[in-house]
């Protein structure tokens, strides 16, 4: 008796994609919906990091950027005190809480702390202390150190300035924001600490790189796999903070 042929890929354990259905989600352009919105929605629906974040309980796909950076550089260690600037919606805080043992879940490991600040109100995160604060305020560093009970071992930022639609303008804005975050880090970091921040490639980041190289032992630029390939974003990871410059001493 003739055998019934299998459907392509059925029961064969084929993982190459040959003979399988195209599972890409397509979004129809509804009346009144801009093409840019349609493309964004399509990208979200088909983004494996978005799906993974929902499955694993993270507040956004950006959580995997800090996971991948920490896997490489190991700065979120048990016992570390961490400041997350512009922490909304909270994915980076969630990762930090687990890795620095902020909830004390890892017995025998030092218990760290995570402090998130943002201009907008952020939903509470177990193990993290969240404050609505403009980190550019004159006394913001003093408030943060008071809340932390001392200096921080890590200052991290996934902030981006509001997009204007003009590429060069957006680049300059995010570099300025990153520089402001760096100066904040100089005020709150303990010697040996780490600064991690998002920047956009575009040519104006040279002054920021020079500044960080003066203040840290090592400065590296990384584009983690979770960062979309069509994005110009990258992350600067500065390790080994040298500490604040000593006040100029008056001559005897």
**Which residues are designated catalytic?**
198
Residues 144, 145, 147, 153, CA torsion sign: positive
Query: Largest Cα–Cα distance of the chain, in whole Å?
Result: 107
90 is in an annotated binding site: yes
**Residue 245 annotated as binding site:** no
CA count, 13 A, side-chain hemisphere, 222: 20
118 has binding-site annotation: yes
The string of DSSP letters for 195-221 reads EEEEEE-SSTTHHHHHHHHHHEEEEEE
Q: Find out whether 151 and 141 touch, Cβ atoms under 8 Å.
A: no
Q: What are phi and psi of 164, to 5 degrees?
A: -100, -15
- With b for 16 or more beta-carbon neighbours within 10 A and e for fewer, the 140-161 pattern comes to bbeebbeebeebbbbbbbbbbb
Q: Is 92 annotated as a binding residue?
A: yes
Sign, CA torsion 114/119/124/125: negative
Tell me if 234 sits within 8 A of 199, measured CB to CB: yes
Q: Annotated binding residue at 149?
A: no
Q: List, as residue ranges, the binding site for S-adenosyl-L-methionine.
A: 90, 92, 118, 134, 158
Q: List, as residue ranges, the binding site.
A: 90, 92, 118, 134, 158
């Amino acid at each position: 008796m003739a055998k019934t042929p299998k459907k392509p890929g059925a029961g064969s354990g084929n993982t190459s994609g040959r003979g399988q259905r195209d599972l890409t989600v397509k979004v129809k352009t509804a009346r009144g919906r801009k093409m840019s919105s349609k493309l964004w929605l399509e990208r979200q629906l088909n983004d494996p990091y978005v799906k993974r974040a929902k499955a694993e309980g993270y507040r956004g796909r950006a959580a995997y950027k800090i996971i991948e950076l920490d896997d490489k550089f190991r700065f979120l260690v048990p016992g570390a005190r961490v400041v997350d600037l512009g922490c909304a919606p909270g994915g980076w805080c969630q990762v930090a809480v687990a890795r620095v043992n902020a909830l004390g879940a890892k017995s025998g490991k030092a218990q760290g702390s995570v402090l998130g600040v943002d201009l907008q109100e952020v939903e509470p995160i177990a193990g993290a202390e969240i404050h609505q604060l403009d980190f550019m305020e004159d006394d913001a560093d003093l408030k943060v150190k008071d809340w932390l009970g001392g200096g921080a071992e890590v200052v991290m930022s996934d902030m981006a300035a509001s997009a204007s639609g003009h590429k060069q303008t957006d680049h300059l804005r995010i570099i300025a924001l990153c520089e402001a975050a760096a100066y904040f880090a100089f005020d709150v970091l303990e010697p040996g600490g780490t600064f991690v921040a998002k920047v956009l490639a575009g040519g104006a980041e040279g002054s920021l790189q020079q500044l960080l190289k003066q203040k840290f032992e090592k400065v590296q630029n990384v584009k983690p796999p979770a960062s979309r390939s069509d994005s110009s974003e990258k992350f600067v990871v500065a390790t080994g903070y040298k500490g604040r410059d000593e006040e100029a001493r008056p001559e005897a």
